[in-house]
Structure 1
Amino acid sequence: MPARRRPPAGSRTELPPLKILRKIFLLQAAYYVCAAVLILFTTVVYGAPFSLDLIFGWDSLRGDTTIGWMLGLVWMLNCFISVIFLLLFVSRSKLIPDFALTIHFLHLIATTLYTHSLPTNLLWWGLQFASAAMMTFLGMWACQRRELEPIKFGGHGGSTQAGPSQASDDGQQESTFGRGRGRERSMQEYEMDDMKHTGEHAV
């Protein structure tokens, strides 16, 4: 029976499909909740009515109106905040591009289904590409920074490091003490031999 090949790292065995779907759902929900809060705050400050068209619609992002530019800035701010969600839920730099592009792809599907038409606004498309690129770059940078942090252990490092040196010091002391005892013993034997020779000459 041929031996089974071990699946490569990063495959489905390492990140199961159900776990991937759960992460996608959490990221998408956090993306829309954060966008809704930011857009609601912007409309309250600006004095404009809030509606789902500002979230799922594409015709509100226009370059000839103030609310259109404000929405563009809000979506870019939402992109920066979503990097934190990527860092919390994904936390692996090589998976960041997949999840970041999935978020924007699902947003495209939701916008198309909500408006019953494919977005034709160039500002909307430019905003999506800029948001996806920024989210991917910042997410990978943040995850790599966390991956490269040194691993910190508890306070037992000093005692573990001191163990071998202390053992070597004890060994050196014991060997020195042994050599000293041997040297002292040889001196006593030498003195006893001298006393014996002196006694024989006297007799």
Structure 2
Amino acid sequence: MKNILVFNSSVLAENSVSRVLVAKTVAALLVKNPGAQIIEHDLGCDPIPHLDTATVAGIRGVPESEAEDAARARSDELVAELQAADVLVVGSPMYNFSIPTGLRSWFDYVLRPGVTFQYTASGPQGLLADKRVIVIESRGGFYSAGPAQSRDFQEPYLRALFAFMGLQDLTFIRAEKIGSGAEARAAAIENAEKTITSVV
């Protein structure tokens, strides 16, 4: 393993559970791969600009303006990082049953037809060489089973987006019920840390 691409997308800074667990995951990976290069994006504190009318053609069309050229250049840079990575570590708290908008914006820049996926006669095909993806999910409630599972639009969405680009080696590590008080939060972090140790 040479390259580890890391994303934090929580907007809670030092109060973020997912950030704690992302750091734990990266540290464990470095123990196994001490020479690995790390590229890190903080999508919560330093988000990628959302696409809008002035920039969308830089990703979805032919750039003709300065703003569109800038969006295309940012996309090219992010795609190159993704292509070069051996492992992705993605911190994704659940916001309103889905993912943070900062992480969604990153996907908007790297989901490029003809670059990371293509449409074929048999349907869409991912163009990225498969690589390991470790996703840290923090959740205020319990969504991995039971009556609230139907409101989990976070994990199925992430699975679909990564698979659309050809990434199938996905590991999801969940810290759930962190909104149920200090003891529940501590237990969730402890259980997630144990999982990190075992899977890394």
The reply to whether TM is greater than 0.5 is no
Higher relative contact order (CA 8 A, sep 6+): 2
Structure with greater proportional helix content: 1
What TM-score range do you get, normalising by the shorter chain?
Answer: under 0.3
Structure with greater proportional strand content: 2
Normalization by structure 2: what TM-score? 0.25
State the structure with more CA Rg: 1
Normalization by structure 1: what TM-score? 0.25
